[in-house]
């Protein structure tokens, strides 16, 4: 059953931090018909906000008039006033997030939901010193948040069931695919799965089994080609749990279980081989090749987002 609040289509949504994630989150709620207020303290980021939002509207062939639903602020108090939800997308630093949440408590109503977009810091810890901890929740959007459907909604040990329901409803009504993560475990679900695969991929390259380009080809042309329509649990049931058991019995003992980051990663970081931004990471990149990857990804995600929107109308 949904609460009365859950059915309000036009709520005030406040965003703390108008950077990479914050501006995309602001966009998606504005596109869903909400009134959005963004607090961004850095003058240079605030100055580029409307241009960055306009670029999303152009990418998605949306009517730029929807941007009238977004107001930008350089101070926090007026941005938060009357908000039903606050989504915090400030830098990934625990003391900063704790300070922001403490301030939020003095600025919003006791039932305003306070959601953190932290990639890794448990909202249990972020909200530890608050008086109303039942309204603190994790909402892990994926980059870019206006294009990737998934949002992990992470219930911490103090989050109430009602807050989970209201948050899931808001996101679902905004066209996202929210999932309920029942415990505030490090990495939540998506990053645990993603990094389990990266751990093995890096170990295979380090052991000389194949090069980094081959890993990408194996994923993209192999199981990745079906992953968007067939999750690993569905795939296991499709081929049979017994087959998965037999493979696991032979294979799992050979999989990498290096505790902590693999030495290959440490060596790359120490050598300044940080990826596309330095021209070399696990693979080598010219600026043109790096741009081509970014363009390919952005176009692919935008086409999928447009197709989803078309199917809804
Ligand atoms: N980048 C990603 O792929 C990604 C994905 C999922 C989650 N996240 C998480 O989202 C959060 C934001 O990440 P991002 O990539 O958007 O970072 P970002 O650096 O692009 O944006 C952070 C913004 O917060 C602003 N800021 C700084 N101090 C602030 C304060 N006291 N109050 C309000 N705003 C402040 C900064 O000026 C900046 O514009 C982080 O917790 C990050 O871990 C990032």
Query: What CATH code is assigned to 5-181?
Result: 3.40.50.720
The per-residue pLDDT for 6 is 45
The per-residue pLDDT for 120 is 87
21 ligand 1 Cβ < 6 A = yes
**257 CA from centroid of ligand 1 (Å):** 31
20 ligand 1 Cβ < 6 A = yes
Annotation marks residue 152 as catalytic? yes
Task: Name every residue whose Cβ is closer than 8 Å to that of residue 5 and which is 6 or more positions away in sequence.
Answer: 11, 84, 166
Q: Tell me which of 14, 16, 17, 40 to substitute to probe ligand 1's pocket, judged by most ligand atoms within 8 Å of the beta carbon.
A: 17
The per-residue pLDDT for 3 is 41
154 ligand 1 Cβ < 6 A = no
Does this model's pTM top 0.75? yes
* Tokens standing for residue 278: 């330095």
- C-alpha dihedral (120, 51, 79, 68), degrees to nearest 10: -120
Tell which atom from ligand 1 comes closest to the C-alpha of 21: 16
19 ligand 1 Cβ < 6 A = yes
Rounded Cα distance between 79 and 146, Å, is: 21
Per residue of the chain (313 residues), give pLDDT as tens. Answer: 234 344 445 899 999 999 999 999 999 999 999 999 999 999 999 999 999 999 999 999 999 999 999 999 999 999 999 999 999 999 999 999 999 999 999 999 999 999 999 998 999 999 999 999 999 999 999 999 999 999 999 999 999 999 999 999 999 999 999 999 999 999 999 999 999 999 999 999 999 999 999 999 999 999 999 999 999 999 999 999 999 999 999 999 999 999 999 999 999 999 999 999 999 999 999 999 999 999 999 999 999 999 988 887 6
Tell which atom from ligand 1 comes closest to the C-alpha of 42: 37
Per-residue pLDDT tens over the stretch 223-282: 999 999 999 999 999 999 999 999 999 999 999 999 999 999 999 999 999 999 999 999
On whether the CB atoms of residues 186 and 157 are closer than 8 A, the answer is no
Rounded Cα distance between 103 and 160, Å, is: 21
Q: Tell me which of 86, 91, 103 to substitute to probe ligand 1's pocket, judged by most ligand atoms within 8 Å of the beta carbon.
A: 91
3 state SS for the chain: CCCCHHHCCCCEEEEECCCHHHHHHHHHHHHCCCEEEEECCCHHHHHHHHHHHHHHHHHCCCCHHHHHHEEEECCHHHHHCCCCEEEECCCCCHHHHHHHHHHHHHHCCCCCEEEECCCCCCHHHHCCCCCCHHHEEEEEECCCCCCCCEEEEECCCCCCHHHHHHHHHHHHHCCCEEEEECCCCCCCCHHHHHHHHHHHHHHHHHCCCCCHHHHHHHHHHCCHHHHCCCCHHHHHHHHCHHHHHHHHHHHHHHCCCCCCCCHHHHHHHHCCCCEHHHCECCCECCHHHHHHHHHHHHHHHHHHHHHHHHHHC
Annotation marks residue 180 as catalytic? no
Where are the chain's structural domains?
5-181, 194-259, 272-313
Give, using CA atoms, the residue closest to atom 15 of ligand 1.
20
CATH topology of domain 194-259: 1.10.1040
40 ligand 1 Cβ < 6 A = yes
Rounded Cα distance between 300 and 307, Å, is: 11
- CA triple 11-150-292, angle to 5 deg: 115
Q: Which of 140, 146, 156, 262 is catalytic?
A: 140
17 ligand 1 Cβ < 6 A = yes
Tell which atom from ligand 1 comes closest to the C-alpha of 40: 34
Residues present in the chain in total: 313
Tell which atom from ligand 1 comes closest to the C-alpha of 45: 39
Strands of the sheet containing 12-16, edge to edge, are: 70-73, 35-39, 12-16, 85-88, 113-116, 136-141, 150-154, 177-181
Annotation marks residue 140 as catalytic? yes
Rounded Cα distance between 149 and 64, Å, is: 21
């Amino acid at each position: 059953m949904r609460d009365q609040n859950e059915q309000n289509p036009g709520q005030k949504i406040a965003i703390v931090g108008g950077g990479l994630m914050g501006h995309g989150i602001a966009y998606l709620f504005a596109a869903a018909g909400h009134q959005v207020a963004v607090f961004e303290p850095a003058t240079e980021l605030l100055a580029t906000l409307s241009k960055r939002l306009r670029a999303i509207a152009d990418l998605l062939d949306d009517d730029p008039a929807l941007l009238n639903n977004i107001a930008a602020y350089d101070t926090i108090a007026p941005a938060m006033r009357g908000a039903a939800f606050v989504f915090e997308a400030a830098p990934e630093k625990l003391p900063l997030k704790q300070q922001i949440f403490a301030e939020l408590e003095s600025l919003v109503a006791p039932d305003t939901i306070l959601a953190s977009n932290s990639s890794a810091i448990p909202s249990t810890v972020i909200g530890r010193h608050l008086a109303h901890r039942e309204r603190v929740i994790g909402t892990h959007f994926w980059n870019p948040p206006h294009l990737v459907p998934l949002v992990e909604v992470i219930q911490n040990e103090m989050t109430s069931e009602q807050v989970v329901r209201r948050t899931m409803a808001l996101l679902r009504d905004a066209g996202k695919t929210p999932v309920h993560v029942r415990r505030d475990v490090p990495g939540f679900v998506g990053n645990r799965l993603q990094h389990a695969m990266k751990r093995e991929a890096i170990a295979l390259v380090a052991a000389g089994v194949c090069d980094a380009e081959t890993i990408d080809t194996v994923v993209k042309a192999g199981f990745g080609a079906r992953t968007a329509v067939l999750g690993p649990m569905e795939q296991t049931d499709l081929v049979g749990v017994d087959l998965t058991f037999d493979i696991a019995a032979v294979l799992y003992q050979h999989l990498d279980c290096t505790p902590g980051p693999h030495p290959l990663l440490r060596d790359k970081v120490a050598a300044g081989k940080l990826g596309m931004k330095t021209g070399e990471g696990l693979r080598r990149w010219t600026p043109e090749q790096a741009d081509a990857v970014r363009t390919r990804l952005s176009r692919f995600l935008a086409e999928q987002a447009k197709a989803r929107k078309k199917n809804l109308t």
